[in-house]
Amino acid sequence: MSTANVSEDFRVKFPLHSSVWENDYRKLERELTQNDIEAVDPRGRTPLHLAVSLGHLESVRVLLRHGAEVTKENAKNWTVLQEAVSTGDPEMVQLVLQRRDYLKASTALGGVPELLSKIRESPDFYMEMKWEFTSWIPLVSRVCPSDVCRIWKSGASLRVDATLLGFENMTWIRGRRSYIFRGDELMEVNHDEEVVDTERFNISQEMEDVTLDSMQPAEQEVAKRLTSPIVNTYLDTKDIAFERSKSGIWGWRTDKTEAVNGFEAKVFSVNNVNVVIRTRTEHLTDEEKIFLFKGERNVLESLLGTVEQHISAQGDLTLEYATATNPTAITPEEYFDPDFDLGNRDIGRPIELSIRTQKFKGTLWMSEEHPLSLVEQVTPIIDLMARTSSHFARLRDFVTLKFPPGFPVKIEIPLFHVLNARITFGNVNKCSTEEQVNTPTAATPTSSDDGEAAAFCLIISLQEEVWDDASDSMPNSQSDR
């Protein structure tokens, strides 16, 4: 096939991508009326991903204005925002970050009513989730926190109390919070600041006060992203295996069982789980890279036992037609030809990537006599909390795996870098909401509460009049966040 025919062929097959490649944003605007904005090219990029990698700001603006998806990952599992940061362009990062935050604000409550409907018909209950964080590094393990997350469920109403809110930049975020899902709204009670924020599940109504301009990121936030490495941590579970743990000595070994909070549980070892940490640094200055390198080579890092791989700039960077965003001078005919092998060449800034892989063995305690259903009762709650909590998000990723039969009364999984999380489900109580409750206020239970007190608090917490009283009495109450 002639070069002219190849050129015409990719323009027909990938009209949006070809307009982006040439940064012909006026033509791109016209083509968007009749082509799929989320179409993927042979290299696994949407038009927006391609525009960002090529540094074409004008095309990025057009695509974002037409609603291009900013949270999609490319074929190498990087998001649009991560690729924008890799360009080192503050304006590019600001554009993508603003749209990403606007999307998060506009869809923050999407799917919540569906999750609540899943638990509506299940029996009411009170349950505690004990989070214990551990590390194989002694110095780290001594300062690891713990938390008891308390959950009340009645009908389609739900209350979750927690004190550990998240983990960012190796720092624990703490605070006393209650999350109350009731009807068409979510109430977040900040007990420390005595503030109640209320969000409604009516997205169109909620969005009346949320505009794109209101999501303008601060200059400091953009600068922080541009001076920090791009880090992507995930669990590789494609080869995961659950095997019964054994007890006893050789010749008399039997399947291991343990009692957990009064329930007999079969103990399983979780094998072939890898924690993969990918770090990109091509957007950093030499001084920032030196600082990062020194920080990573401290005594804690030397104890991790990770397998590390470094990937540096790709291909020959001295070609005649090379540009900053196309350093190996890839032609569009080469790029859009699925049969053409680019080798280690690619568009975008030359990548500097380190990949660390750490093998992890988890443990799972499964009880077949537990009264709760993981899928019907507990997983929807974990889904709800995963929207605001990074450690709940990691737990959600794990519980969606195909477990052995039963309920996981205790789980031990990798969490962040050097940390493991041990989650124990306990103090399960069946509750009746038919009792008459005259107490006018609700109290957050303490760790000394027994089963009757927990059930009593459930009844109080889920009474509409009590919630209304609590909301009205809280100072600085905000109707919509």
Indicate the SS3 state at residue 440: coil
Q: Which residues pair with 255 in a beta bridge?
A: 246
Q: Give pLDDT tens digits for 184-212.
A: 778 889 998 889 988 776 655 555 556 77
Q: Which amino acid is at 244?
A: R
State pLDDT tens for residues 283-337: 999 988 888 776 555 434 444 445 556 555 454 444 445 678 899 999 999 999 9
Q: Residue ranges per domain, the chain?
A: 3-107, 112-202+215-312+351-481
At 136-153, the pLDDT tens digits run 776 666 667 788 999 999
Measured CA to CA in angstroms, residue 178 lies from 123, 181, 443, 458 at distances of 22, 10, 11, 13
Answer with the residue of higher pLDDT: 39 or 475.
Answer: 39
Render pLDDT for 340-367 as a digit per residue (tens, 0 to 9): 999 989 999 999 999 988 787 889 999 9
Rg, C-alpha atoms of the chain? 26
pLDDT of residue 257: 95
Crossing angle for the helix pair 390-399 and 379-386, nearest 10 degrees?
Answer: 140
Q: What is the pLDDT of residue 7?
A: 56
Average pLDDT over residues 408-425: 84
> Three-class SS of residue 3?
helix
Summarised one tens digit per residue, pLDDT across range 48-102 is 999 999 999 999 999 999 999 999 999 999 999 999 999 999 999 999 999 998 8
Two tokens, residue 292: 């990062």
Q: What is the mean pLDDT of residues 413-428?
A: 82
Q: Residue holding tokens 């009792």?
A: 435
Q: What average pLDDT does range 427-453 have in this prediction?
A: 43
Please report the pLDDT score of residue 417 as a whole number. Answer: 59
The pLDDT of residue 478: 38
Task: Choose among 130, 189, 184, 129: nearest CA to 157.
Answer: 184
Report the DSSP beta bridge partners of residue 242.
Answer: 270
What is the residue whose two structure tokens read 């050097």?
418
Region 205-230: mean pLDDT is: 80
User: What pLDDT does 464 receive?
Assistant: 38
Strand partners, 475: none
Contact, 289 vs 228, CB < 8 A?
no
Top pLDDT among 100 and 444 is at 100
How far is the C-alpha of 425 from the C-alpha of 189, rounded, in Å? 24
Rounded Cα gap, residues 15 and 10, in angstroms = 8
Q: How confident is the model at residue 172 (pLDDT cuts 50, 70, 90)?
A: low
Please report which confidence band the pLDDT of residue 447 belongs to, taking 50, 70 and 90 as the band edges: very low
Mean pLDDT of the chain: 79
CB 71, CB 79: distance < 8 Å: yes
More confident residue, 336 or 455: 336
- Crossing angle of the two packed helices 90-107 and 219-226, in degrees rounded to 10: 110
Give whole-number Cα distances, 257 to 267, 413, 427, in Å. 6, 19, 20
| Cβ within 8 Å of residue 413, ≥6 positions away | 235, 270, 273, 360, 362, 394, 395, 398, 420, 421, 423
Strand (E) positions, 326-418?
Answer: 353-367, 407-414
H or E segment to which residue 19 belongs: helix 15-21
* Whether pLDDT at 479 is above 60: no
**pLDDT (tens digit per residue) in 12-49:** 999 999 999 999 999 999 999 999 999 999 999 999 99
Q: Which CATH class is domain 3-107?
A: mainly alpha
pLDDT given at position 310: 58
- pLDDT of 446 strictly over 90: no
Q: Which stretches does DSSP call E strand in 106-229?
A: 125-135, 146-154, 157-168, 171-182, 185-190, 195-200
